[in-house]
Chains A and B, each alone.
Chain A
Amino acid sequence: MLDTSITMNPDVAPQQIIKTVQLAEALNIDSCYIADQGFTLDLYVTLTAVACNTKRIRLGPGVTHPYTRHPVVTAVSIASLDQFSGGRAFLGIGAGGSRSLVPMQIARSKPVQMARETVEIARLLWKGEPVTYAGEFYKLAEARIGFPCRKDIEIHWAARGPKMLELGGALADVNLLHAIPRFELANVVATVRRGAEKAGRTTKLQYAAMLVYDDASRAIARARTVYRLVDSSDEVKAKLGLTAEKLAEMRRLVTTSGPNSAAFLVSDEILSHYVIEGDAADCAGQIRQLIADHGLTGITVEVPDPANAEKLLSFAADVLSRL
Chain B
Amino acid sequence: MTTTADTIILGDWVWAGPGRLIENAAVAVRSGVVLEVGPQTALLPKYEGAKKLGGDGRFVLPGMISTHTHFFQTFLKGVGQGLPLRPWIQKVTSPASITMNEREAYLSAAIGIIDAIRSGTTAIFEFSYAFPNPGIFNAIVQAYMDLGVRGWLGIGMNDDGAEHGLNPALIQPLEKIPSLLDQITDSVQKQGNGLVYPALAPSSIRGMSKKAIPVISEYARSKGLIFSLHVNEITIDNEVAQAKFGMPLIPALADHGALSERFLAVHCVRMTAEDITTLASYGAGVSHNPVSNMYLGSGVAPITEMMKAGIPLSLGVDGAASNNSQDMIETLKFAVLGQRAALRDPACIQAEDALRMATEGGARVLQADGWLGRLEPGYKADVTVFNFNSAKSVPVFDPIATTVFNSGEENVETVVVDGKVILEGGKLVTIDEEKLLQEARSAAVELIRRANIQVR
Contacts and interface: CB of A to CB of B under 8 A. Distances in A.
A263 B101 contact: yes
Contacts of B135: 264
A260 B99 contact: yes
Contacts of A223: 99, 450
Interface in B331-358: none
B304 interface: no
Contacts of A253: 98, 132, 168-169
Interface of B, helix, strand, loop or mixed by DSSP? helix
**A220, A260, A307, A308 — most chain B CB neighbours (10 Å):** A260
B168 A257 contact: yes
A261 interface: yes
Interface string B161-203: 0000001111000000000000000000000000000000000
Given A215-B443, A253-B132, A261-B169, A305 B450 contact: yes
Contact of B132 (A219, A220, A222, A261): A261
Nearest to B449: A308
A260 B443 CA distance: 15
A307 B453 CA distance: 12
A216 interface: yes
A219 B446 CA distance: 9
B169 A219 contact: no
A260 B135 CA distance: 15
Nearest to A304: B450
B175 to A, nearest CB: 15
A309 to B, nearest CB: 11
B446 A257 contact: no
A222 B449 CA distance: 15
Nearest to B451: A260
Contacts of A265: 133
Interface in A234-279: 252-253, 256-258, 260-265
Interface in B125-180: 132-133, 135-136, 167-170
A219 B167 CA distance: 21
A314 to B, nearest CB: 17
Interface string A202-230: 00000000000001100110110000000
A222 B133 CA distance: 14
Nearest to A255: B168
**Chain B interface: which size bin?**
20 to 34
A219 B168 contact: no
A219 B450 contact: yes
B103 interface: yes
A261 B450 contact: no
A220 to B, nearest CB: 6
Nearest to B442: A216
A260 B447 CA distance: 10
A257 B101 CA distance: 15
Nearest to A253: B169
A308 to B, nearest CB: 6
A264 B415 CA distance: 35
A220 B168 CA distance: 21
B163 to A, nearest CB: 14
A219 to B, nearest CB: 6
Nearest to A256: B168
A308 B95 CA distance: 18
B99 A215 contact: no
B417 to A, nearest CB: 30
B450 A264 contact: no
A44 B92 CA distance: 31
A256 B101 CA distance: 18
A260 B446 contact: no
Contacts of B446: 215-216, 219
Interface in A88-110: none
Nearest to B446: A216
B449 A307 contact: yes
Interface string B29-71: 0000000000000000000000000000000000000000000
Nearest to A254: B169
Contacts of A256: 167-169
Nearest to B136: A264
Contact of B101 (A219, A252, A305, A308): A219
Contact of B167 (A222, A261, A263): A261
Nearest to A257: B169
A203 to B, nearest CB: 36
A320 to B, nearest CB: 24
Contacts of A257: 98, 132, 167-170
Interface in A170-228: 215-216, 219-220, 222-223
B99 A263 contact: yes
Interface string B424-456: 000000000000000000110010011100000
Interface in B78-116: 95, 98-99, 101-103
Contact of A260 (B98, B136, B168, B170): B98
Interface string A100-122: 00000000000000000000000
A215 B101 CA distance: 11
Contact of B103 (A215, A260, A307): A215
B29 to A, nearest CB: 40
A305 B447 CA distance: 12
A256 B170 CA distance: 10
A264 B449 contact: no
A253 B446 CA distance: 21
Contacts of B443: 215
Identify the interface centre among B95, B135, B443, B450: most chain A CB within 10 Å of its CB.
B450
Given A253-B168, A307-B449, 5 more contacts: A215-B103, A252-B168, A260-B95, A260-B450, A261-B169
What 3 A-B pairs are tightest by C-beta distance, nearest first? A256-B168, A257-B169, A264-B133
Interface of B: 95, 98-99, 101-103, 132-133, 135-136, 167-170, 442-443, 446, 449-451
28 contacts: A215-B443, A216-B450, A220-B450, A223-B99, A223-B450, A253-B98, A253-B168, A253-B169, A256-B168, A256-B169, A257-B98, A258-B98, A260-B95, A260-B98, A260-B99, A260-B451, A261-B98, A261-B132, A261-B167, A262-B169, A263-B99, A263-B101, A264-B132, A264-B133, A305-B449, A305-B450, A307-B449, A308-B449
